[in-house]
Amino acid sequence: MRFRHADTIWATFPGLACGALYATGVDARTDTGPRAAQYTARALARLTGATEGEFPEVLAWRRTFSRMGVLPTQYRCASESLLRRLRKEGTLPRVHPLVDLCNALSVAYAVPVAVLDLDRVAGPLLEVRPADGDETYTAFGGGVEHPAPGEVTFVDSSGRAHARRWTHRQSGHSAVGEHTRRVLVVAEAMHDGGAETVPELLKTVEAEVAAHWGAVTETAVPTAAAPDFVFGG
């Protein structure tokens, strides 16, 4: 399978830093709670000195959303939403061991981290690109939506959209669950320093997945010059 950002994305957002990990062999039985708590504690410590809206990582995504014509305080990137919830409630929701771990890493690094069940993604291509307007998106509540033309989303080979407003919200269709075994993890940053942050985050995800599941992994740090991540044999 192949994952990539479209050339127009790299051209329009040259500050994008991306890291991707493919893993096979994950399950819902592993306890990642202690490790997730450590990463969450890092985020809580940072939040004692400033709100998430002051973080450069978050501000960069707000500027990106504004460039896309999206109100950044109405539609927040995933990491900002998680940080906001953490600041208000002191904890994050428990969803799935891998999702919980990646959510904790997302707040620790203040960077959006998506986790998709690859058995629910139609290959051979998953591409981050502007929507045509006829893509189908399934919300977590089960409703069907169509991203507006030009809205950045993750689109598979069947024309299914797996996100709304890029890093705002994932699709319920490819959400990780009890039966998930193969996943794609994608971290995306826009801030100055993202080119250093994302590879560090990617290495951490890889180490945690290996430690908790012993899973087979493949990783890549795509760039405008080499945008394709081919994985899974």
Residue 229 lies in a domain: no
Q: How far is residue 28's CA from residue 216's CA, in Å, rounded to a whole number?
A: 16
Domain harbouring 129, CATH code: 3.50.40.10
Tally of domains within the chain: 1
Q: How far is residue 61's CA from residue 54's CA, in Å, rounded to a whole number?
A: 12
User: What tens digit of pLDDT does each residue of 3-41 get?
Assistant: 999 999 999 999 999 999 999 999 999 999 999 999 999
Q: Name the pLDDT band for 151 (thresholds 50, 70, 90).
A: very high
Residue 233 lies in a domain: no
Identify the residue whose tokens are 């908790």: 212
What is the token pair recorded at 161? 């959209």
- Cβ contacts of 47 within 8 Å, gap of 6 or more: 83, 86, 87
What are the distances in angstroms from CA 215 to CA 24, 25, 98, 168?
A: 6, 5, 12, 28
Q: Say yes or no to pLDDT of 226 above 90.
A: yes
Q: How far is residue 38's CA from residue 211's CA, in Å, rounded to a whole number?
A: 15
pLDDT of residue 56: 98
Range(s) of the domain holding residue 118: 2-223
Residue 158 lies in a domain: yes
Burial class (CB in 10 A: 0-12, 13-18, 19+), 44: middle
User: What tens digit of pLDDT does each residue of 166-203 get?
Assistant: 999 999 999 999 999 999 999 999 999 999 999 999 99
Q: Does residue 144 sit in helix, strand or coil?
A: strand
pLDDT of residue 119: 98
Q: How far is residue 114's CA from residue 56's CA, in Å, rounded to a whole number?
A: 20
pLDDT of residue 233: 83
Alpha helices in the chain (DSSP H): 7-12, 33-47, 56-67, 78-89, 97-109, 194-213
pTM over cut 0.85: yes
106 — phi, psi (to 5°)?
A: -60, -45
